[in-house]
């Protein structure tokens, strides 16, 4: 029981770090810009992002598993990383996460920090001031962290 809990904690930390690196450093500007587009262009850009992200997670997770000699199984790894990749793709297509935000009555928060929000950030001249700190970004990242938690649990327990 203690070994499973320790494995979960170590795996979650590794996945969390790898997620941040993969989502911000590994993802190309083209992938970030195009992954929410309709059609094949958007699907392929999102797929390339997920491939790079999942490889980043595997590469950062491998030394943690080896150095700490953590007892994980191939099915647990495949299930955990697969669930994480699938849910990340789902959210990063953008319309899906917007749909969920609307259903959860988070529409106003989703638009926070964008020109569509009534209280969007402005420059001294009163023009829109772009920011990475949007409600959509916060909901996106919290969605991903939720699934990192699930992935770590599956990797540790299966």
By the 8 A CB rule, do 13 and 149 touch? no
By the 8 A CB rule, do 84 and 53 touch? no
Two tokens, residue 21: 């690196």
Spell out the per-residue pLDDT of the chain, length 158, in tens: 799 999 999 999 999 999 999 999 999 999 999 999 999 999 999 999 999 999 999 999 999 999 999 999 999 999 999 999 999 999 999 999 999 999 999 988 888 777 676 666 767 787 766 667 788 899 999 999 999 999 999 999 99
Buried-exposed string 135-158: b where 16+ CB fall within 10 A, e elsewhere: bbeebbeebbeebbeebbbbbbee
What pLDDT score does 126 carry? Answer: 74
- CA atoms within a 13 Å half-sphere pointing along the CA-CB vector of 73: 8
Whole-angstrom distance, CA of residue 87 vs CA of residue 31: 17
What pLDDT score does 76 carry? Answer: 98
């Amino acid at each position: 029981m203690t070994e499973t809990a320790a494995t979960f904690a170590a795996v979650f930390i590794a996945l969390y770090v790898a997620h941040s690196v993969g989502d911000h450093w590994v993802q190309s500007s083209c992938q970030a810009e195009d992954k929410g587009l309709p059609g094949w262009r958007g699907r392929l850009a999102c797929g390339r992002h997920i491939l790079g992200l999942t490889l980043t997670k595997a590469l950062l997770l491998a030394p943690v598993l080896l150095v700490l000699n953590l007892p994980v199984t191939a099915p647990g790894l495949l299930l955990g990383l697969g669930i994480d990749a699938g849910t990340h793709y789902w959210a990063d297509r953008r319309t899906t996460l917007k749909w969920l935000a609307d259903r959860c009555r988070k529409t106003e928060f989703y638009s926070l920090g964008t020109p569509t929000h009534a209280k969007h950030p402005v420059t001294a001249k009163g023009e829109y001031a772009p920011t990475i700190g949007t409600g959509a970004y916060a909901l996106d990242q919290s969605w991903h962290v939720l699934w990192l938690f699930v992935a770590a649990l599956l990797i540790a327990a299966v």
